A = this chain, B = another copy of it.
Amino acid sequence: MLAHLTQDAAPSTPTSDQNKVFRTELTPLSFLRRTAALFPDTTAVVDGNRGTAYSYWQFAGRVNRLASALQAHGLRPADCVAFLCPNIPPMVEAHFAVPAAGGILVAINTLLNAAEIAAILRHSGARFLFVDHELYSILTPLNLDGITVIRVDDTGLPDDPYETFLAKGSPEELDPRLADEEETISLSYTSGTTGQPKGVTYTHRGAYLNALGNVIETGLTPDSVYLWTLPMFHCNGWCFPWSVVAAAGTQVCLRKVEPALVWDIFEAYGVTHYNGAPTVHTLIANHPAAHRLARPVTVMVGGAPPSPALLAQLRVLNVQPIQVYGLTETYAPITVRAWRQEWSALATEQQDRLLARQGQGRIVSDLLRVVDEAMDDVPRDGQTMGEVVMRGNIVMKRYHDDPAATAEAFRGGWFHSGDLAVMHPDGSIELRDRKKDVIISGGENISTIEVEHALCAHPAVLECAVIAVPDDFWGERPKAFVTLKSTQRATSEELIAFCREHLAHFKCPVAVEFGEIPRTSTGKVQKFVLREREWTGYDKRIY
C-alpha cells in the first residue's frame, strides 16, 4: 500500500479562476483520479492478446507519463494528437492522457487508406501521430512534416518506441488544465454524405455525462469486465474507455475480433459487457465455440438495427442485448431500447415489432423528435415519416473547422440526423429510411458520393450511382450502377479492383450492374427507383 503514496489522490488547490467551491468542470478525467485513488489494486486494463494487465495504480501512472511526455515534446493546449491503432492498451491510455495534457484526441479509423488518413491529419492539424506497428507501413507515401510520429509495437517492453516515449514522462498527475467543461476532448472523423471527412467535436462535458449514462444503462460496476470488440476509433468507443474507468471496472483489449479468442476470453476473464454492430454480434454468436454463458453478459447493439433473430440468438447464449441508435454526431448511441421483461409473454411477431423500434433518448439525452420540413412534429401514428432531430448534452459541439456544415446540421436549433423515422403512439421512434446518401456496412459509414467519385475516375465510366443493398451479415453493402462510355469496355471485376486502389476496401462495391441510370426529367438521378428494385420484399429501405 505504501507504494500508492507516490500517487497523490488529493486534488490540487483550485486556481484562482476556478473559484466556485460548488462547481468542478465536468470531465472524464475526474473518473480516473477517483478510481485510481479508491481502487488502486483493481485491474484497469488487460491486454487480451498478451495476457498482461495493469492495475489502476499502474494505469494512472502510465497515463500521467504519456500526458507529461506529450507536454515535454511540445504539445500546446488544444493541439490534436492522432492515434492509428487497434484496440490495444495505449488506446485506452490515450483517452485520458491526451486531454490531461490539454490536447485533443483524434482516433483514426484503421480501415482507411493512406490518402484518407492524410486528409484527416491535414484537416485536424494533428501534431502527434501514434501508429501501431502493423499499420506503420501505410504511412510510407505520406508527407508527415511537422508531425511527431511514434510507433507502437504493442509489446509493453522497454524497447517499444511507445514505452520509450512514456519513460520520458512522469507518473505524477499533471495539474488540471480544464478551464471550461465545453472545451473539446476529441475529434471523431466521419465521412458523412459528401466524402469530405468531417471532424465531429466532443466536449469534456458531453463525454462525462455520456459515460455516466453508459454506466447506468449497461449496469457497469467495479465487478464489470468489459471486452473491446467495438473499435475505440468509433466515436471514442461509444465513450466506454471513460465509462469503464468511471465504474472502476476492467477493460480487456483485443487487437481484432477473432471469435474463438473472444469465447476464450469470455470464460477466462469473466466478461460481463461488450458492444458492437450487429455484424460483430453475428460473428460471435455463430462461432462453433458459442455456448450459453453461466453469467449474463450485457451488450449494446448499435450501428444498425439488429434482426429479431439475432437478438433471440443472443438471449439463448445469456447475452442480454440493449438496442441503441445514434450517430457519430451524438457521441454514438443517443437512444435506448432495452429488452423489457414483460415482452417475454408476447408472441414472437409482437416482440419483433417492438424490438424493431429505436426507442427514445437515453438518460442523459433530451428526447428526440421526428419532424417534417417545417420542423413541426409528425403525428404519433407509427406511419408518418419525418426526420429524426436531436439536441442536448450528447450532441456534438460542431464539425471542426467547418461552420457551413455545422450550420446546415444545426438548422432550426436541432441536429438533423438525416434518418427518416416514424413516431409511435408510445413516443418511441422507428427508423424507416435515410435522407442522406450513406451506407452503413458492419457499423461503418460509407458515403455513396465518395464511392461514385472513385468510380467516375475510371476512364471507361460515363456515369454511375451507388446505393446500399441488403446483406444478411453486413447489414448493407454498396452496389454500383454504371453506364460506360460508348467507346470503352470494363468488367465489374476491373471497376471493383479500381475502387480498391483508391478507397478503403470496406467502401468498395460488392457488385456492379451496367445499364441506363434512371433520371428525372430534369436529369436528377432517381436512386429510389434503384432502391425499390433491390429492396423488394423488405418493408424498410435500411438494414
Binding site for B on A (CB under 8 A): 1-2, 4-5, 9-11, 13-14, 19, 21-24, 26, 30-31, 33-34, 37-38, 40, 182, 203, 205-206, 212, 215-216, 219, 221, 223, 246-247, 341, 359-361, 363-364, 366-367, 369, 375, 377, 380, 391-393, 395-398, 410, 412-415, 425-428
Contacts and interface: CB of A to CB of B under 8 A. Distances in A.
Contacts of A392: 22-24
A503 to B, nearest CB: 31
25 contacts: A1-B426, A2-B425, A4-B425, A5-B380, A14-B391, A21-B391, A21-B395, A22-B203, A22-B206, A22-B398, A23-B182, A23-B392, A24-B391, A24-B392, A26-B393, A33-B367, A34-B360, A37-B360, A37-B367, A38-B359, A38-B427, A40-B427, A216-B247, A219-B219, A246-B363
A284 B14 CA distance: 44
Contacts of A215: 216, 363
Nearest to A425: B1
A73 to B, nearest CB: 29
A373 B425 CA distance: 62
Contacts of A341: 223
A412 B19 CA distance: 10
Nearest to A211: B363
A380 B14 CA distance: 21
A271 B19 CA distance: 42
A219 B222 CA distance: 12
Contacts of A11: 366-367, 369, 391
A38 to B, nearest CB: 5
A37 B427 contact: yes
A250 B360 CA distance: 20
A375 B286 CA distance: 60
A346 B221 CA distance: 22
Contacts of A413: 13-14, 19, 21
Contacts of A219: 219, 221
A398 B23 CA distance: 12
Given A14-B413, A206-B22, A395-B22, A5 B425 contact: yes
Given A182-B23, A216-B216, A9 B367 contact: yes
Number of copies: 2
A11 B221 CA distance: 32
A10 B375 CA distance: 12
A350 to B, nearest CB: 14
Contacts of A23: 182, 205, 392-393
Nearest to A223: B341
A148 B26 CA distance: 40
B396 A40 contact: no
A182 B426 CA distance: 33
A16 to B, nearest CB: 9
A307 B393 CA distance: 42
A412 B12 CA distance: 12
A52 to B, nearest CB: 22
Contacts of A14: 391, 413
A24 B182 contact: no
B212 A22 contact: no
A374 to B, nearest CB: 12
B427 A21 contact: no
A30 B216 contact: no
A328 B22 CA distance: 13
Contact of A4 (B33, B203, B427): B427
A320 B361 CA distance: 32
A31 to B, nearest CB: 8
Contact of A34 (B13, B363, B369, B415): B363
A428 B341 CA distance: 39
A215 B213 CA distance: 10
With a 10 A CB-CB cut-off, give which of A31, A247, A427 has the most chain B CB atoms. Answer: A427
Contacts of A34: 360-361, 363, 367
A215 B217 CA distance: 10
A399 B410 CA distance: 40
Contact of A393 (B22, B33, B246, B425): B22
Contacts of A414: 21
With a 10 A CB-CB cut-off, give which of A38, A367, A392, A412 has the most chain B CB atoms. Answer: A38
Nearest to A1: B425
Given A11-B367, A23-B392, 5 more contacts: A21-B391, A38-B360, A212-B363, A219-B221, A223-B341
Nearest to A337: B38
Nearest to A248: B363
Contacts of A40: 426-427
Given A22-B206, A24-B392, A37-B360, A30 B212 contact: no
Contacts of A415: 21
A122 to B, nearest CB: 25
Contacts of A412: 13
A215 B215 CA distance: 10
